[in-house]
């Protein structure tokens, strides 16, 4: 593989991670106000939270795991609107993890397909010892 192809693959991977991180960041930033809005509407009308509200709360916890929900940062470092910095790093962590899992899956799949070659019917390699020719 030449240097330009290798560099293009690395840049493509970086672009995919950044796009996934931006998408995750947008979802993480938008789900909090939506959850609060639904929660305030539900608390006025019903005594028990609805399924939609419970689903939004679970989605918020998943999107903000691990950095935000586990408080892996000091809140004093990021007051007010600065909270978006750890949210973005959380999104980068998610995107890198998902991309890495995808990459590992592709490598394993590639090794499996390389290791198993189809049997050649003309050479007799695909026949068992007890099969009649």
Give residue 47's pLDDT.
Answer: 74
Whether the pLDDT of residue 80 is over 60: the answer is yes
Give residue 48's pLDDT.
Answer: 80
How far is 41 from 61, CA to CA, in rounded Å?
20
How far is 25 from 89, CA to CA, in rounded Å?
9
How far is 117 from 5, CA to CA, in rounded Å?
27
For the chain, the domains span 3-112
Most confident of the following: 42-51, 102-111, 113-122: 102-111
What six digits make up the tokens of 102?
A: 């995808």
Q: 78: exposed, middle or buried (C-beta count within 10 Å: 0-12, 13-18, 19+)?
A: middle
Backbone dihedral angles phi then psi of residue 68, each to the nearest 5 degrees: -80, -50
**Above pLDDT 70, what percent of the chain?**
83
Q: pLDDT for 98-114, tens place per residue? A: 999 999 999 999 988 88
Mean pLDDT of 27-32: 94
Whether the pLDDT of residue 93 is over 90: the answer is yes
Whether the pLDDT of residue 16 is over 90: the answer is yes
Beta strands per DSSP E along the chain: none
**Residue 9: how many CA atoms within 13 Å on its side-chain side?**
7
Beta strands per DSSP E along 8-87: none
């Amino acid at each position: 593989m030449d240097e330009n192809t290798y560099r293009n693959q690395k840049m493509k991977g970086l672009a995919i991670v950044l796009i996934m991180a931006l998408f995750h960041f947008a979802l993480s930033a938008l789900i909090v106000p939506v959850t609060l809005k639904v929660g305030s509407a539900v608390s006025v009308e019903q005594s028990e939270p609805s399924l939609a509200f419970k689903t939004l709360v679970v989605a918020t916890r998943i999107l903000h795991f691990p950095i935000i929900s586990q408080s892996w940062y000091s809140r004093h470092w990021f007051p007010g609107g600065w909270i978006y910095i750890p949210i973005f790093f959380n999104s980068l962590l998610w995107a890198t993890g998902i991309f890495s899992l995808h990459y590992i899956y592709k490598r394993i799949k590639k090794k499996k397909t390389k290791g198993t070659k189809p049997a050649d019917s003309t050479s007799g390699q695909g026949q068992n010892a007890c099969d009649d020719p």
